[in-house]
Amino acid sequence: MKTIIFFDLDNTIHSTKNQIIPGQTVKLLLELANLPNTYLGIATGRNEAKVSMLGSLLDLFTYKIFINGAIAYKNNELVYNNAINKEEIKNVISLAEKKDISVGFVCKIDEYITTYNDQVHININSFNIKKPEVKPDIYLSEDVYQLWLFTSDKDYIDSIKNQINLDLHPWHKEGYDLVDRKSNKALAIKELLKGEEDYRLIAVGDGHNDIQMVEMADIGIAMSNSGFLELKEKADYIAPHIDDNQLYDFFKSIKILP
């Protein structure tokens, strides 16, 4: 039987607070990749250009899911590709402009934004990412796979849920990811594993966008640093906080590592 293990990236493999991949996590990935009939997957909300922190570790992953499931590869071959409808993007921009909320655009490689404000600066600084270029019309010329709404106004988010045809994932206290309803990590995993038989699926994550993949897995693991109760309730196990640097010992304790 194959064992296929998908990991989220931010605050599952990589600590956004300390900007490192903990030593035990590196050791875990290396040993898992060398186990017979064991295959690794990465499932992240980031696009392909924003995973450089993995370095050579990226080569350990047979399966790669980017932008919350909008793009997926197996052995570096594109399997799934789902951009957001341009009219839907136009609708979101119109709704956001009424509240002076900035919208971000996540493309295959680059990221853009409609305008800069304080909420944008909070998010950019918190995640230590390059400032996106201001291009409010980029969606007219380039495929967009995910939108960002830079707001902490939950009442506003609740008010627009029925006015858009996109799924919303809180990714920070100051922002939300918006993706097509046919794009999530669980759906991307299903596309990648079509035709596979006799396998055990393990999924590890910390975010709201990990709930579906953790729930669908044979063994679902939530990081204890997660702030999402629903994720922890769906999980079979709770792993130590990423900054405790104990993920290798944890995988040993639940006998995923021999």
Give the span between the Cα atoms of 8 and 20, in whole angstroms. Answer: 15
Query: 7 CB contacts (<8 Å, ≥6 apart)?
Result: 13, 29, 40, 41, 42, 43, 204, 205
- For residue 252, CA distances in Å to 13, 24, 25, 87 come to 17, 11, 12, 49
What is the pLDDT at residue 247?
Answer: 98
Name residues whose C-beta falls within 8 Å of residue 64's C-beta, 6 or more positions apart in sequence.
41, 42, 58, 72, 73, 76
Helix runs in the chain, H state only: 23-34, 86-97, 118-127, 154-160, 185-192, 211-216, 229-234, 247-253
C-alpha 72/C-alpha 102 separation (Å) is: 27
Amino acid (1-letter code) at residue 139: Y
Contact call for residues 256 and 219 (beta carbons, < 8 A): yes
pLDDT at 122: 67
Listed in order, strand segments (DSSP E) in the chain are 2-7, 38-43, 61-66, 71-74, 77-81, 102-106, 111-113, 133-134, 146-150, 166-172, 175-180, 199-205, 219-223, 237-239
Identify the pLDDT of residue 126.
61
The DSSP 8-state label assigned to residue 48 in this structure reads G
Per-position pLDDT tens, the chain of length 258: 999 999 999 999 999 999 999 999 999 999 999 999 999 999 999 999 999 999 999 999 999 999 999 999 999 999 999 999 999 999 999 999 999 999 999 999 999 999 987 777 766 666 556 788 999 999 999 999 999 998 888 888 889 988 999 998 887 567 888 999 999 999 999 999 998 999 999 999 999 999 999 999 999 999 999 999 999 999 999 999 999 999 999 999 999 998
Rounded to 5 degrees, what are φ and ψ at 64? -135, 120
Buried b (16+ CB within 10 A) or exposed e, 216-232: bbebbbbbebbebeebb
Distance, CA of 65 to CA of 67 (rounded, Å): 7
Question: What residues are paired with 239 via a beta bridge?
Answer: 223
pLDDT for 125 equals 64
pLDDT at 172: 59
